[in-house]
Amino acid sequence: MKNQLSLGLDFGTESVRALLVDLRGRERATVVVKYPHGQITEKLPGTGEKLPPDFALQHPQDWIDSSARAVRGALRNARAKASDVIGIGVCFTSCTMLPSLADGTPLCLTKKFAREKYSWPKLWKHHGAKTQTDRINALAAERREKWLDRYGGTIGLEWFFPKILETLENQPAVYEATEVWLEAGDWYVWQLVGSSANELPRSTCQAGYKAMWSRDDGFPSPDFFKALHPRLANVVDEKMPGRFLAPGESAGNLCASLAAKLGLNAGIPVSAAVIDAHAGVPGAGAAEPDTLVMVMGTSSCHMLNALENRPVPGVAGIVQDGILPGMVGYETGQAAVGDAFDWLRRMVGAKDFAGLTSKAQALPPGAEGVLCLDWFNGCRTPLMDGSMTGVFTGMKLHHRPEHLYRALLEASAFGVRWIVELLRERGVPVKRFIATGGLPHHNALLMDIYASVLGGKIVIHPCKHGPALGAAILGAMAAGESATGFSTTAQAIRSMAQPSSIRKQTRTIKPNPKAARAYDSLYQQYRGLAEKFRNISK
């Protein structure tokens, strides 16, 4: 068998990871390289201008330079030849976006605009567009824009058009000089394939989840944009050229100049970009539809591919071809998971989780009456309301820190069950659960509670860098059946993310029947509490 490798590139907030993996899922090398400028939140490079507190920028040259070092390092560590690499996949934080010229030059790297902070790429967590987001939501609600339904009735502060409108309102000259507005992931893929602006490969994932785009209806209408701001009316026609490709579809072949930078051969097929969390779906081995992939860390992103497109209120995004080609991707989320656990640990003055966990484990389901709403960072799905707050109730003088901790873990599980029931009620099947990310590996009690609350077994995927593996799978898909022998997406995922070597390390958590029965009624109490508070705060 030939030494065929796929390259997955995972662009994070502080660094980029390059992963080389073969077509049987054997990891050959992985190298992480930090961005020289990291997150730019204090001072603008070059001028030293102090940035407002809600700013978070990145440097586009970092993406090229750091990925080049990472790829070269991975090739070296894998003792692989450049010719072994048969496909490239790219996942990126989102919505990280930037203004560029038609030839791909980021506006911030032009002489004229380098000193202007609004010309720089805005990182996903840039929060400068608060008022713009509110106005977009209000106007869309007033006009009953159809696309609003696909996002649970609310679009997010970190999304694509709020960030454009923020620039237009604060620095119109930057808006006027921009020839292409685009996602950073798309920009990077565009650089790799070196196409013209008209052929610019835009990811259906990023456009669908962050820019209100859909395969059927495109972007919001010029009428809507005009009502928002006259100058924005034709933003799509004038400043957003390109074509739409699903992750796993080929965006073109690696061009000579980027090949030279990365130390690869020109001509390698490159997949369209994908959001990093969404790349975790193939990366976790979710080859079948109706499988909820729970990517669990400081916050959680729960994603599902389905064969049919159904409106589900309160789901953060429903996108045809949003995660994998040919399926409808449903994205849901919980805004505070590991973050909330760590907050509680600090709140009760515990050094680590060991003592809390063993005591919480000894408690029965329901934490002896303590009930929690885990909205310490707002409620994402299904309320889509960042103003929601955390709640503990049912507390008596005999309760101890472990009661609060167990109640918090249970609230987190109830939150997922709410999402699952919502999907099922609306005709979106949820048949299997896969957990990935850092938390499932470190918190066995949490996974036991999740399995019993959900009433179904949970597969914990062992891969420590699922998004990079997902990107590599998408790269192999872009390379096509002639190169890989994979005739379907499911085949690629099974071969690369569910090989026997991985299956051996996979744990399956089963529900405890007695606990599951108790949680059926506790879950109803949680829902009752949630109803009380959604009314209070809205």
Contacts with a second copy by CB under 8 A lie at 336, 339-340, 343, 346-350, 369, 376-377, 389-397, 399-401, 404, 528-529, 532-533, 536
- CA atoms of 462 and 450, how far apart (whole Å): 18
Q: Tell the smallest beta-carbon distance from residue 470 to a second copy (Å).
A: 28
Q: Tell the smallest beta-carbon distance from residue 391 to a second copy (Å).
A: 4
User: Of 298 and 506, which has the nearer Cβ to a second copy?
Assistant: 298
- CA atoms of 435 and 447, how far apart (whole Å): 9
First to last CA, the chain: 61
User: Of 478 and 530, which has the nearer Cβ to a second copy?
Assistant: 530
User: Of 256 and 536, which has the nearer Cβ to a second copy?
Assistant: 536
User: Of 321 and 402, which has the nearer Cβ to a second copy?
Assistant: 402
Q: Tell the smallest beta-carbon distance from residue 301 to a second copy (Å).
A: 18
Q: Tell the smallest beta-carbon distance from residue 387 to a second copy (Å).
A: 10
Q: Tell the smallest beta-carbon distance from residue 401 to a second copy (Å).
A: 6
- CA atoms of 454 and 456, how far apart (whole Å): 5
Structure tokens at 519: 């949680």
User: Of 307 and 536, which has the nearer Cβ to a second copy?
Assistant: 536
User: Of 63 and 533, which has the nearer Cβ to a second copy?
Assistant: 533
- CA atoms of 436 and 179, how far apart (whole Å): 39
Structure tokens at 227: 């009502």
Which H/E stretch holds residue 292? strand 291-296
Query: What residues form DSSP beta bridges with 201?
Result: 243
- CA atoms of 254 and 270, how far apart (whole Å): 7
For the beta carbon of residue 454, count every other beta carbon within 10 angstroms.
24
Q: Tell the smallest beta-carbon distance from residue 51 to a second copy (Å).
A: 21
Q: Tell the smallest beta-carbon distance from residue 355 to a second copy (Å).
A: 11
| 237 closest CA partner among 249, 211, 219 | 219
Alpha helices per DSSP H over 21-123: 60-77
- CA atoms of 430 and 424, how far apart (whole Å): 7
Q: Tell the smallest beta-carbon distance from residue 397 to a second copy (Å).
A: 5
| 86 closest CA partner among 480, 470, 494 | 480
User: Of 395 and 490, which has the nearer Cβ to a second copy?
Assistant: 395
Evaluate whether 103 touches 34 at the Cβ level (below 8 Å).
no
- CA atoms of 218 and 212, how far apart (whole Å): 8
User: Of 177 and 348, which has the nearer Cβ to a second copy?
Assistant: 348
User: Of 252 and 390, which has the nearer Cβ to a second copy?
Assistant: 390
Q: Tell the smallest beta-carbon distance from residue 128 to a second copy (Å).
A: 20
- CA atoms of 443 and 155, how far apart (whole Å): 32
For the beta carbon of residue 16, count every other beta carbon within 10 angstroms.
27
